[in-house]
A and B are shown apart, each in its own frame.
Chain A
């Protein structure tokens, strides 16, 4: 057994883990297909890219966020057939939005532990069926005695967090709006995008107010979609491709559920999750060592917030990097080259398609029109979820 002990982190690994294929459906309101059918499309694409058959898959990991979206309790069993979970070890993992990166982390430990040499990771979310609005499902994540009687709305909480971030770091809304402008434009090159477009900062600032400062174009849409990823052991990777992408670090961390007791200006959950992943990946200076990033961007300020949490920018520095074009696709540190959730869409767990799958495609030089200009070796992706408290991080590299 390969045993690596890193300071402060017990880390026993049986084998390295490579990603050899990914797939995703278009993100949109898909009223015709069931979640199973969407999952099938994504899996089929990922297996084709990997050059594998479903019969080669040893274990399956499913990621899907609250049952309340699909309106099916225990939706993992409902989705099983589309995820290829039949007749093999199959398990669902979910940590709200954080699932987008947590499900692949679970896939990682299936392979790294030596339990499986080929593990398929499938994420599915169908939000369009939830009425009167998918946001309604979030009404029931709050404490029924202390929060719910005030009828909280997730957008309120994000507005509070955005305000706090702007206040502490002295950031203007127009600087934050640049993220939305960038990501929606990047998404024009993504075949799966839901809300891509050429917009201006003024468009964002003049869009419909939701809970100020949050306006319509600061927010990603609820989408339906599925994504899939094939993770394999080194000896399988060698048979399939000359250029696999290696998972070099994973991390996850939860902050307190009492979100009111946190200072919202800085995402500690992301910083701690990143610290774990960086230790594993031997990254000491993320700003220099990371070439491309896909932080979780359900709101434009969240991309900045999470960049700072990941140590890709100092506190308050992310808006400056954005303004200077550093985070553009042809910049020194491309951020959300996929178009992110703001541009491609936000099917909660299936956001894996624009986070983990995108970093894989970028590092494998398979991102087509979205390929970043600079040479890339190491990439990072991150998601955020549960009651705005979990950070999930994965570091990948095309060098083992």
Chain B
């Protein structure tokens, strides 16, 4: 069956308004992220190759998590291939929405990212996609600097 959401404040005495945790955070994209988002502003994509095992990380990192070696950055096209997708119909608060969300494997790397699919009538596994970037003055240094991926 389905549990109906009720207003718990009406059920018994609680201090009015409840409590909030009033904190906010300044997040850093780190040494690797800094380089990645700087290049993205120039419309370029980079990945990182482990100097020891050759594993190609995307998004780039400064070290390899499997052998703790340093990595070197190299340029990639930014194009990729859809490996899995979902069509989201409800948001976190259960309001209606519609968005195609995909797991995209980036060409020339061993890495995948989560991103949106836009300008697509249909989506399927194996579909080739390429990134659409925001305008430089709208970029904020997060993954949303890529607006979405669209079919090639």
Point out residues on A near B: beta carbons under 8 Å. Answer: 31-34, 36-37, 40, 43-44, 47, 53-55, 68, 70-71, 80-82, 84, 86-87, 128-132, 136-137, 140, 144-145, 148-149
Return chain A residues, CB-CB under 8 Å to B62.
37, 40
B: contact size bracket: 20 to 34
Binary contact readout B1-34 vs A (1 if CB under 8 angstroms, 0 otherwise): 0000000000000010001011111111111111
Q: Is B83 an interface residue (CB 8 A)?
A: no
Contact residues of B with A, CB < 8 Å?
A: 15, 19, 21-34, 61-63, 65-68
CB pair B19 A37 closer than 8 Å: no
What residues on A are CB-neighbors of B68 within 8 Å?
40, 43-44, 47, 53-54, 84
- Tell me the smallest distance from the CB of B92 to a CB of chain A, in Å: 14
Does the CB pair A71–B27 fall under 8 Å?
Answer: yes
- Given A33-B31, A37-B31, A37-B62, do A54 and B67 touch, yes or no (CB 8 Å)? yes
Closest residue of chain A to B57, judged by CB? A81
B26: nearest residue on chain A (CB-CB)?
A129
With contacts A54-B67, A86-B65, A144-B19 taken as known, whether A32 is within 8 angstroms of B31 at the C-beta atoms is yes
**Bound Cα distance A131, B29 (Å):** 17
**A70/B30 in contact, CB under 8 A:** no
Question: Residue on B with the closest CB to A136?
Answer: B23
Between-chain CB contacts (< 8 Å), 13 pairs? A32-B28, A34-B28, A34-B29, A34-B30, A37-B32, A40-B68, A70-B25, A71-B25, A86-B66, A130-B25, A131-B25, A137-B23, A144-B19
| Chain A residue at smallest Cβ distance from B18 | A144
Contact residues in B for A40 (Cβ distance below 8 Å): 62-63, 68
B30 touches A36 (CB 8 A): yes
In the complex, A153 Cα to B49 Cα: how many Å?
Answer: 47
Are B19 and A131 in contact, with the CB atoms below 8 A? no
Q: CB-CB < 8 A to A129: which residues of B? A: 25-28
Q: Which 3 pairs, one residue from A and one from B, show the smallest C-beta to C-beta distance? A: A71-B25, A34-B30, A81-B65
B60 CB to closest chain A CB, in angstroms?
12
* Bound form: Cα–Cα A33–B28 in Å: 7
Give chain B residues whose Cβ lies under 8 Å from the Cβ of A53: 67-68
Residues of B within 8 A of A137 (CB): 23
**Chain B residue at minimum C-beta to C-beta distance from A70:** B25
Minimum CB distance partner of B33 in chain A: A34
Q: A47-B68, A54-B67, A54-B68 are known contacts. Are A131 and B23 too (CB-CB below 8 A)? A: yes
Among B23, B61, B67, the residue within 8 A (CB) of A68 is B23
Q: Nearest Cβ in chain B — how far from A12, in angstroms?
A: 34
A134 to chain B, nearest CB (A): 9
A37 touches B65 (CB 8 A): no
Which partner residue on chain B sits nearest A69 by CB separation? Answer: B25
Q: A37-B62, A68-B23, A87-B66 are in contact. List 4 more A-B contacts (CB 8 A).
A: A54-B68, A86-B65, A136-B23, A148-B19
- Which residue of A is nearest B20, CB measured? A140
Point out the residues of chain B lying under 8 angstroms from A31, CB to CB.
26, 28
B21 engages A140 (CB within 8 Å): yes
Say how far A381's CB is from chain B's closest CB, in angstroms.
26
Contact residues in A for B34 (Cβ distance below 8 Å): 32
CB nearest to A84 among chain B residues = B68
Contact of A145 among B15, B25, B30 (CB under 8 A): B15
Pick the residue among A37, A68, A132, A149 that contacts B21 (CB under 8 A).
A68
- In whole Å, how far is B141's beta carbon from the nearest beta carbon of chain A? 13
Residues in B with CB closer than 8 Å to A144 are 15, 19
* Closest CB in chain A relative to B27 CB, distance in Å: 6
B30 CB contact (under 8 Å) in A32, A44, A54? A32
- Is the beta-carbon distance between A130 and B23 smaller than 8 angstroms? yes
Q: Find the B residue at minimum CB distance from A68.
A: B23
Closest chain A residue, CB of each to CB of B32: A37
For A34, A68, A86, A132, the residue with the greatest tally of chain B CB atoms inside 10 Å of its CB is A34
A396 CA to B74 CA, complexed, in Å: 46
| Distance between Cα atoms of A265 and B67 in the complex (Å) | 49
Chain A residues in 8 Å Cβ range of B28: 31-34, 129
In the complex, what distance in Å separates the CA atom of A82 from the CA atom of B26? 20
On chain B, the residues within 8 Å of A80 by CB distance are 65
Taking a contact as CB atoms closer than 8 A, the residue among B15, B22, B31, B63 that contacts A136 in the complex is B22
